[in-house]
Amino acid sequence: MMDKKLAIFGGKKTISEGIIKKWPPVDQTDIEYVLNSLKGDIHSFGPNCKEFEKEFAQWNGNKYAITTNSGTAALHMGIAGCDLSCGDEVIVPAYSWSSSATCILHHNCIPIFVDIDFKTMNIDVNKIEEKITERTRAIIVVHLHGLPVEMDRILEIAKKYNLKVIEDACQAHGAKYKGKKVGNFGDCSAFSFNQNKCLCSGEGGMFVTDNEEIYEKAKMLWSFGETRRPFEDRDYHAYALGWMYRNNDLTAAFGRAQLKKLDWYIEVQKKNAKVLTKILKEIEGLILPYVPENCEHNWYNYTIRLDMDFFGIKKDIRKFRDYVLKAIQAEGVKCGIWQSFILPAMTVFLAKNAYGKGCPWSCPYYGKNINYVPEEYPVAQKHCDTHFGMTEPLRAPNDEKVAELVGISIKKVIDDIKEKGPEKWVNKVEEVLK
């Protein structure tokens, strides 16, 4: 019989140590691929890199792919590939990982933030047009936590204003909009293979496109501004400003092995998310992930929001959320806060001093006085203050039994709050934390 007393108050935790397995699963396939690379002759950009590009392009349905050292690099390559330049404005959601916007700064362009839709957590497509000016050149579409954005509306806006569309699919491997995988709607797309991602190679990423001109321009940024790739007949001449965003053979070998299991990983996440949702949807006070009928979520991150109105919390909203999170973590659930700040509240944007002396905002090719006001993005802030989420508990090799235990743990905490009353419950947590 489950101990009703919360673990944070001295009760027995619901999920014991070791029940939730670590991510990613590593098996003999991974070991063989990595060891073969290690025993090979090229440990920089080598044969596994070239094969990884081919295999990922085939898996996702793209014509061109370039393996990179990070998803951030792939995003910057998208900016360069779309031929954006100093002072160009790029639309981006107000809530995402910092790279979704700093990649714009990397190319001396200006990020213009748009608030999010609370239901989907993605950019509010109905608020994009009001932010478009004569300087707007592109939209970065972030498929946050693996839920696709409403791409029909995005493409309609892009066509109307002649804008490029860059998909930030760093969390969205295998997610689909109207039956089509993300990374196939925009002019180009970026994927990440960081430790947390659905396809993990430790670090790394992939830039994909079907446009040869965009591919060639992105390729130059990727390799020192050169026009030829490392395995081609290089002349080592920098034709433009470039970075070193190449991947290495060992990382690519790990990525290739993990790619073979990616479809299974995503199916496991879907099954586990379904089990968790079945339990949590019966609990008042929780706002669960919303998935439109035309979208297939990959469940990179299962994100829950607390309904503060239900609990009667009018102030210290973050404190209440943080205490609820601590109580759930004490039950053995590996969960946390994904992003603590909305992007317009981050110092790099508020200070407008990315390169020093006010650049790129002070660049004479921009010439506009733009200010970032966090209060102008209330939906993003509300989400930021009320959410918590998880990745590892719903990932393979964890099964539906683990997902069920996660749901039971969360229910246990919420039931205790309702029984004691939010104010008394908060006071008791504060006593424990002193």
**CATH code of residue 96:** 3.40.640.10
Residue 180: pLDDT over 60:
yes
Q: What does the pLDDT read at residue 230?
A: 65
420 within domain boundaries: yes
Residue 8: pLDDT over 60:
yes
Give the alpha-carbon dihedral of 393, 395, 399, 402, to 10 degrees. 0
End residue of a domain, out of 241, 261, 281: 261
Indicate whether 79 and 202 sit together in one domain: yes
Q: What are phi and psi of 113, to 5 degrees?
A: -85, 145
Q: How confident is the model at residue 232 (pLDDT cuts 50, 70, 90)?
A: low
User: Pick from 347, 313, 330: which is nearest to 5 by CA?
Assistant: 330
Q: Could you tell me the strand order of the sheet in which 110-114 lies?
A: 64-68, 205-209, 188-192, 164-168, 136-142, 89-93, 110-114
Query: How large is the average pLDDT for residues 101-117?
Result: 97
End residue of a domain, out of 261, 280, 301: 261
Indicate whether 297 and 317 sit together in one domain: yes
Residue 1: pLDDT over 60:
no
Q: What does the pLDDT read at residue 233?
A: 65
Q: How confident is the model at residue 17 (pLDDT cuts 50, 70, 90)?
A: very high
Q: What does the pLDDT read at residue 183?
A: 98
The rounded distance, in Å, linking the Cα atoms of 430 and 159 is: 54
Question: For tokens 């019966």, what's the residue?
Answer: 282
Question: What's the domain range around 429?
Answer: 7-23+262-339+382-433
Question: For tokens 């905002």, what's the residue?
Answer: 361
Q: How confident is the model at residue 434 (pLDDT cuts 50, 70, 90)?
A: confident
End residue of a domain, out of 212, 244, 261: 261
pLDDT in tens, 20-58: 999 999 999 999 999 999 999 999 999 999 999 999 999
Q: What does the pLDDT read at residue 308?
A: 98
Q: What does the pLDDT read at residue 243?
A: 85
Indicate whether 331 and 394 sit together in one domain: yes
211 within domain boundaries: yes
Q: How many domains does the chain have?
A: 2
Indicate whether 226 and 326 sit together in one domain: no
User: Pick from 166, 178, 163: which is nearest to 78 by CA?
Assistant: 166
Q: How confident is the model at residue 237 (pLDDT cuts 50, 70, 90)?
A: confident
Report DSSP state, residue 207.
Answer: E
Averaged pLDDT of the chain: 95
Of 283-287, 307-311, 361-365, least confident by mean pLDDT is 361-365
Q: H or E stretch including 189?
A: strand 188-192
Q: How confident is the model at residue 227 (pLDDT cuts 50, 70, 90)?
A: low
Q: What does the pLDDT read at residue 30?
A: 98
Q: Between 226 and 365, where is the model more confident?
A: 365
Of 221-235, 249-263, 385-399, 415-429, least confident by mean pLDDT is 221-235
Q: How confident is the model at residue 142 (pLDDT cuts 50, 70, 90)?
A: very high
Of 214-223, 334-343, 398-407, least confident by mean pLDDT is 214-223
The rounded distance, in Å, linking the Cα atoms of 358 and 347 is: 13
Q: What does the pLDDT read at residue 14?
A: 97
Question: For tokens 């073979």, what's the residue?
Answer: 260
Q: What are phi and psi of 92, to 5 degrees?
A: -150, 145
**CATH code of residue 287:** 3.90.1150.10
Residue 104: pLDDT over 90:
yes
Indicate whether 313 and 387 sit together in one domain: yes
366 within domain boundaries: no
Q: How confident is the model at residue 367 (pLDDT cuts 50, 70, 90)?
A: confident
Residue 379's alpha-carbon distances to 79, 99, 411, in angstroms, are 27, 20, 26
Residue 197: pLDDT over 80:
yes
Q: What does the pLDDT read at residue 194?
A: 96
In this structure, the number of other CB atoms found within 10 A of the CB of residue 194 comes to 18
225 within domain boundaries: yes
Residue 229: pLDDT over 70:
no
Q: What does the pLDDT read at residue 2?
A: 66
Indicate whether 90 and 189 sit together in one domain: yes
Q: What does the pLDDT read at residue 366?
A: 86
Q: What is the pTM (predicted TM-score) of this model?
A: 0.95
pLDDT in tens, 77-93: 999 999 999 999 999 99
Residue 281: pLDDT over 80:
yes
Residue 231: pLDDT over 70:
no
Indicate whether 123 and 193 sit together in one domain: yes
Give alpha helix (H) positions in 150-243.
151-161, 212-222
215 within domain boundaries: yes
Q: Between 258 and 235, where is the model more confident?
A: 258
Residue 350: pLDDT over 80:
yes
Residue 19: pLDDT over 80:
yes
346 within domain boundaries: no
Indicate whether 181 and 281 sit together in one domain: no
What is the number of alpha carbons within 13 Å of residue 292 lying toward its C-beta? Answer: 19
Indicate whether 202 and 97 sit together in one domain: yes
86 within domain boundaries: yes
Indicate whether 16 and 96 sit together in one domain: no
Q: What is the DSSP string of 366-429?
A: T-------GGG-HHHHHHHHHEEEESGGGSTT--HHHHHHHHHHHHHHHHHHHHH-HHHHHHHH
2 within domain boundaries: no
Of 64-73, 156-165, 178-187, 225-234, least confident by mean pLDDT is 225-234
Query: How large is the average pLDDT for residues 98-108?
Result: 96
Indicate whether 190 and 237 sit together in one domain: yes
Indicate whether 137 and 249 sit together in one domain: yes
Residue 222: pLDDT over 90:
no
Q: What does the pLDDT read at residue 225?
A: 65
Query: How large is the average pLDDT for residues 50-75?
Result: 98
